[in-house]
Amino acid sequence: MRVAIELRQVDPSSPGQQRYLWRLALWLAESGHDVHVLLARGVSRAVAAPLTLHDLESLSPGEIRRRVEALDPDVLLLNPERSHPYRGLRPNVVRTAYGTDQYVQKLRAFGSPVERGARTLLRAMPWVRARRRVERNFYGQHGDSPRVIAQSDYIAREIVRSYPHMEGRVTVVHNGVDLTEFNPTARLSRRDAARERFGIPRNAPCVAIIGHNFRLKGFSEVVRALDDAEGSDRPWLLVAGKGTGPVQRRWAQGVAARSGSSDRIRFAGAVGTSLDAHAAADVLAHPSRHDSFGFVVLEAMATGLPVVSSVHAGASEVIEEGVTGWIVDPSDTPTLTRALARALGPDGARVGAAAHQVALGYSETVCFARIESILEEITDG
């Protein structure tokens, strides 16, 4: 197959969706397919790989369209949310990374009715409406609909809710994890160095939150839960991520300052590999308000770290409540508090070990092979 895949950047060390798609492109190329990576933001670094990189940064959407059409790919895989430079193209495969309809799901991250109302009004602004039209066109409302690869049943339902005509066109392939990087041995071998790096006492209980969007990932909810924890030995909280901007960082610092656990909260900033944050922690807290999947959940499970996840995170679909992790509603502080206490207590080791066994079934290579079979089905059809 000749496969063209859109990426925002080529950075093998970058976490999340971009890293995963880059590794998918490499795997497909190493499996013998003719793979082309489309970069509308330019080639960020030189990478020796058995595929072709296309630097499209300085080109207009019309020129990008002509370049891609000239490739004549059997498969054109785009991310419909952030692909406005590719408008006018008709992908035959889309893979939703963050949500639909310009992230309508993210509105639940704003707890204040006033702020949520303001964000809702913002969606009526011309530039937002224009991007929503581009997204709708990628989903083929006015022509042949593409196949959709969704990372979870949760996001598959959201896609059909936004675009009812996609019913029957969505296939769920849960994300995979690189088990050579994320495993119990790797996590434990880094523990002491990670604790020293982040200023966390060696034997103190520690909860980690990993994600750049503090508000969306449940930072304030976890702080409230830890404040409600019983006993004098409150856990430390490691916050790994840079925040989405100075306003959000100031907000998070304010939440921390007002907390009864303010002296035990550490803002680590961007940490590179999330493995370092997993290594410093005893529990991963991921009470996200919206996550199409949540790579950090599966990564933590692969390392044997117990996880408290969210009903609004697709990765919760690979968790069995109380057996391989805990799933909570982020707005239910008492339940979140109890789940964190259980994860930090005697149940944590048992659940973490069971979670590791589950993660073994979600290796990247297994998930990539499932995606490959879908792409071959499309080209054969």
Contact 308, 296 (CB under 8 A): no
> Is residue 43 domain-shared with residue 57, that is, in the same domain?
yes
> Is residue 172 domain-shared with residue 203, that is, in the same domain?
no
Q: Quick one: pLDDT at residue 232?
A: 57
| CATH of residue 330 | 3.40.50.2000
- Tally of domains in the chain: 2
Q: Which strands make up the sheet holding 170-172, listed edge to edge?
A: 52-55, 34-39, 2-7, 75-78, 93-94, 147-150, 170-172
> Is residue 83 domain-shared with residue 190, that is, in the same domain?
no
> Is residue 188 domain-shared with residue 239, that is, in the same domain?
yes
- Cα angle, residue 82 at apex, residues 81 and 87 outer, rounded to 5°: 95
Q: Quick one: pLDDT at residue 373?
A: 96
Residue with structure tokens 């909860």? 207
pLDDT digits (tens, 9 = 90+) for 344-374: 999 999 999 999 999 999 999 999 999 999 9
> Is residue 214 domain-shared with residue 97, that is, in the same domain?
no
> Is residue 131 domain-shared with residue 231, that is, in the same domain?
no
Residue spans of the chain under pLDDT 50: none
Tokens in use for 296?
A: 């950090």
Contact 8, 18 (CB under 8 A): yes
> Is residue 166 domain-shared with residue 150, that is, in the same domain?
yes
Q: Quick one: pLDDT at residue 48?
A: 67
Comparing C-alpha atoms, which of 154, 93, 87, 144 is closest to residue 293?
154
> Is residue 188 domain-shared with residue 76, that is, in the same domain?
no
State which residues form the domain around 106. 2-176+363-380
Q: Quick one: pLDDT at residue 80?
A: 86
Distance CA 67, CA 61 (A): 10
First to last CA, the chain: 13
> Is residue 122 domain-shared with residue 201, that is, in the same domain?
no
pTM for the full predicted model = 0.90
> Is residue 295 domain-shared with residue 280, that is, in the same domain?
yes
pLDDT digits (tens, 9 = 90+) for 226-254: 987 766 578 999 999 988 889 899 999 99
> Is residue 127 domain-shared with residue 216, that is, in the same domain?
no
Q: Quick one: pLDDT at residue 38?
A: 93
**Count of H helices and E strands in the chain?**
14, 13
Q: Quick one: pLDDT at residue 195?
A: 96
DSSP per-residue codes, 26-69: HHHHHTT-EEEEEETT---S----SSEEEE-TTS-HHHHHHHHH
